[in-house]
Amino acid sequence: MSFQHINAIIRMRWQMARNQFFKSGKANQIISAILLVIAVLTSVGSLVFAIGWGNFFLARVKPSYIIYVWDVLVAIFLFGWSITLMIEIQRTEMLSLKNLLHLPISLRGAFFLNYTSSLVNFVLMLFLPVAIGLCIASAACYGTASMVTFALLASFVLMVSAVTYQLRGWLARLMENKRTRGTVISMTVLVFVLLFQIPNIINLSSIGRRGDDTQALREVRNQLRTELSRQLKESEIDVAEYKRRSEKVLSDYEQKRQMLRDAKAASFQRTVSLANACLPIGWLPYGASAAARGSILTPWMCVFGMTSIGMVSLTLAHRSTIRTYTGNDNKEYRPRTKGNSKTSNHSKMLERTLPLLSDQQSAIALATFRCTLRAPEAKMALLTPVIFAGIFGSMMLTGNMSKLPAIARPWLGIGVLGMSVFGMSQLMLNVFGLDRQGFRAYVLMPVARRDILLGKNIATLPIAATLSGLLIGFAAFMLGMNIMHVVASFIQIMIVFFLYFPISNYTSIVAPIGMGIGTMKPVSMNFRIIVTQMLAMLLSPITLLPAVIALACEQIASFLFETSWVPIYLLITLIELPVAIWFYRKMLRIQGTLLQDREQKILDVISKVCD
């Protein structure tokens, strides 16, 4: 690839960006120009500020403390970089690798240009001036030994960009399939959400330990002061002796408290250093701290490690690109009898009849269940309860659940159930959203419309009950709940969802939402639909009333008549279950008639999907 090729490609990309800018309209042009000027001024100002602030700050702290400055800067950069990655995997590039392959350049040259173009982004433009300014300040404060921070910064950018480029290429190949695209996006969101919860988990787990150590010192101090007060009151010591001993107790307390702080600071610094030494993303702060302390070998080992990771990632990405575009990834067709047997097993599954259901109801339920499990949109909708479980589960793991009063523990089980219902509402309030053009089959089916609603609800029930059951089981294990309360909470799952199904069915009939293929993006919505969906979502706590009434009756009876040995919560729950089923069946008949009246309008709405 010659210089003329590079020049032509740069000019072509500049012309594409220029055309895109002028076609965006006057308002967008003004806003883009203002943002560009702000970005340039911010970058220059960040460089000057980092140099000045770095010289002022680093001159007043120990050299080992520079690791915290770099850790904060790297964490902010990785946060913005990951958000940029999530945005980029959902859109196409302006000058992609496929477009470059039409030009008279080699595949290796096209790969190099595509990689270097990925380095031009807003996050890196904001990060590099601050990082370079901090490198200059480190060299000014700690001498020429800290000049290695420039090499550390360059190798860090190479490592992060190369690994990201390899990951993005792998995700792009997976997302060529529309069905896989939604799954990749949903799993990427889930992974990033769970990763960002790690600092919260660490912080919650350390709060209890910090509080226990300080509380122990405080209790010892209070006991000594109480003993001195007793001795003064019984005339064992005089006032002067009391003051002297009180001052000594206070002085010892402050001294031990300071020693505790120093020990915690030293322990925290060892933990941070160990974490940075073990994780590649921490080698930049670790190497910069080692260079500030005068070490020579450690920073260059970090440079070598990050450079090696970056070069290996680029090599693997290049080999994967070569295999993809030369056709070496395509495997020869081999007839597989196992695949045919699996297909046969899947078809047999759809032909089964569920207990207590007719053939039509079973067919609708099984087809909807399999469609829900396979649809990427459903997986994205199910992320909400999973994320809730991860966040609140981490709080239970790290919190001190033993201090929770016994009377409050069963209420936490009801709260977990309510959280599960709220998380499932996005999927339940639009039961026809995944059908799209397939809803015509329901319109043409010679079955009662209440059977369609029943089949849809039965298909959703196993997923909702499984998620709720796992959450309740986890809460019961962590809290040590009474076995009778646990059994009653599991039965309340059925009651809650049988009460929420009429709400979700009515909302799905009167306010249906068409969803784009592969995403949860609504295609056709108006103000009335938004209000109806929001009200239905806010009605989810009403379904918890039977559980609240049953548990409140048990605790009131136990308080007034000392009947703690009687499982009133479980007994009332067993009475409420058939009542909830009767209510659901009554509402199902009414809503079946409503569905028959509005099925054409529903078809018009949900069949308007984006390709």
Q: What are phi and psi of 305, to 5 degrees?
A: -65, -50
Rounded CA-CA distance 279/238 in Å is 61
Residues 320 and 372 occupy one common structural domain: no
Q: Which of the listed ranges 68-82, 282-296, 461-475, 579-593 does the model predict with the highest average pLDDT?
A: 579-593
Kindly state whether residue 195 falls inside one of the protein's structural domains: no
Structural contact between residues 32 and 21, judged by C-beta atoms closer than 8 angstroms = yes
Q: State the pLDDT at residue 333.
A: 42
As given in the structure block, the two tokens for residue 477 are 């294990």
Kindly state whether residue 189 falls inside one of the protein's structural domains: no
Kindly state whether residue 332 falls inside one of the protein's structural domains: no
Residues 272 and 318 occupy one common structural domain: no
Confidence of residue 499 (pLDDT cuts 50, 70, 90): very high
Residues 304 and 384 occupy one common structural domain: no
Kindly state whether residue 611 falls inside one of the protein's structural domains: no
The per-residue pLDDT for range 439-450, each reduced to its tens digit, is: 888 888 888 888
Structural contact between residues 306 and 153, judged by C-beta atoms closer than 8 angstroms = no
- Residue 97 pLDDT > 80: no
The per-residue pLDDT for range 220-262, each reduced to its tens digit, is: 888 888 888 888 788 777 788 888 888 888 888 888 888 888 7
3-state secondary structure string across 24-42: CCHHHHHHHHHHHHHHHHH
Q: State the pLDDT at residue 447.
A: 86
Kindly state whether residue 186 falls inside one of the protein's structural domains: no
- Residue 330 pLDDT > 60: no
Q: State the pLDDT at residue 502.
A: 92
Residues 234 and 112 occupy one common structural domain: no
Least confident range of 23-32, 153-162, 267-276, 560-569: 23-32
Q: Which among 487, 453, 461 has a CA at the least distance from the CA of 472? A: 487
Kindly state whether residue 191 falls inside one of the protein's structural domains: no
CA distance from start to end of the chain: 38
- Residue 277 pLDDT > 60: yes
Rounded CA-CA distance 193/195 in Å is 5
Q: State the pLDDT at residue 541.
A: 86
Structural contact between residues 248 and 41, judged by C-beta atoms closer than 8 angstroms = no
**Residue predicted with more confidence, 195 or 474:** 474
Rounded CA-CA distance 472/479 in Å is 10
**Residue predicted with more confidence, 438 or 32:** 438
Distances in Å between the Cα of 170 and the Cα atoms of 99, 106, 112, 164, 316 are 18, 21, 17, 10, 11
Q: Which among 475, 396, 68, 402 has a CA at the least distance from the CA of 205? A: 396
3-state secondary structure (DSSP) of residue 328: coil
Residue 403 host element (H or E): none
Q: Which among 422, 355, 351, 356 has a CA at the least distance from the CA of 385? A: 422
Residues 168 and 205 occupy one common structural domain: no
Kindly state whether residue 573 falls inside one of the protein's structural domains: yes
Q: State the pLDDT at residue 611.
A: 45
- Residues 474-506 as b/e (b if ≥16 CB within 10 A, e otherwise) read bbbebbebbebbbbbbbbbbbbbbbbbbbbbbb
Q: State the pLDDT at residue 578.
A: 93
Task: Report the number of distinct structural domains present in the chain.
Answer: 3
Q: State the pLDDT at residue 93.
A: 45
3-state secondary structure string across 417-454: HHHHHHHHHHHHCCCCCCCHHHHHHHHHCCCCHHHHHH
DSSP category for residue 355: T
As given in the structure block, the two tokens for residue 207 are 């709060």
Confidence of residue 264 (pLDDT cuts 50, 70, 90): confident
Kindly state whether residue 193 falls inside one of the protein's structural domains: no
**Residue predicted with more confidence, 508 or 22:** 508
- Residue 561 pLDDT > 70: yes
Residues 78 and 163 occupy one common structural domain: yes
Confidence of residue 6 (pLDDT cuts 50, 70, 90): low
Least confident range of 71-80, 339-348, 378-387: 339-348
Helix axes 148-174, 107-118, angle to 10 degrees: 110
- Residue 94 pLDDT > 50: no
Least confident range of 105-119, 221-235, 484-498: 105-119
Average pLDDT, the chain: 77
Residues 33 and 97 occupy one common structural domain: yes
Residues 263 and 359 occupy one common structural domain: no
- Residue 574 pLDDT > 90: yes
Phi-psi region of 519 (alpha: psi -120 to 50; beta: other; left: phi over 0): beta
Phi-psi region of 436 (alpha: psi -120 to 50; beta: other; left: phi over 0): left
Structural contact between residues 416 and 475, judged by C-beta atoms closer than 8 angstroms = yes
Query: What percent of the chain clears pLDDT 90, i.e. is strictly above it?
Result: 10
Residues 434 and 551 occupy one common structural domain: yes
The per-residue pLDDT for range 173-189, each reduced to its tens digit, is: 666 666 566 666 666 66
- The tokens 């799209």 sit on which residue? 436
Residues 148 and 241 occupy one common structural domain: no
- Residue 582 pLDDT > 90: yes
- Residue 358 pLDDT > 80: yes
Q: State the pLDDT at residue 101.
A: 60
Q: State the pLDDT at residue 395.
A: 57
Give the range of the structural domain holding residue 165, as residue numbers without chain letter: 3-181+284-326
Residues 90 and 149 occupy one common structural domain: yes
Q: State the pLDDT at residue 604.
A: 85
- Residue 125 pLDDT > 50: yes
Mean pLDDT, range 269-296, rounded to an integer: 87
Residues 56 and 81 occupy one common structural domain: yes
Domain endpoint, select from 226, 248, 280: 280
DSSP category for residue 145: G
**Residue predicted with more confidence, 25 or 57:** 57
Exposed / middle / buried, residue 145 (Cβ in 10 Å: 0-12, 13-18, 19+)? middle
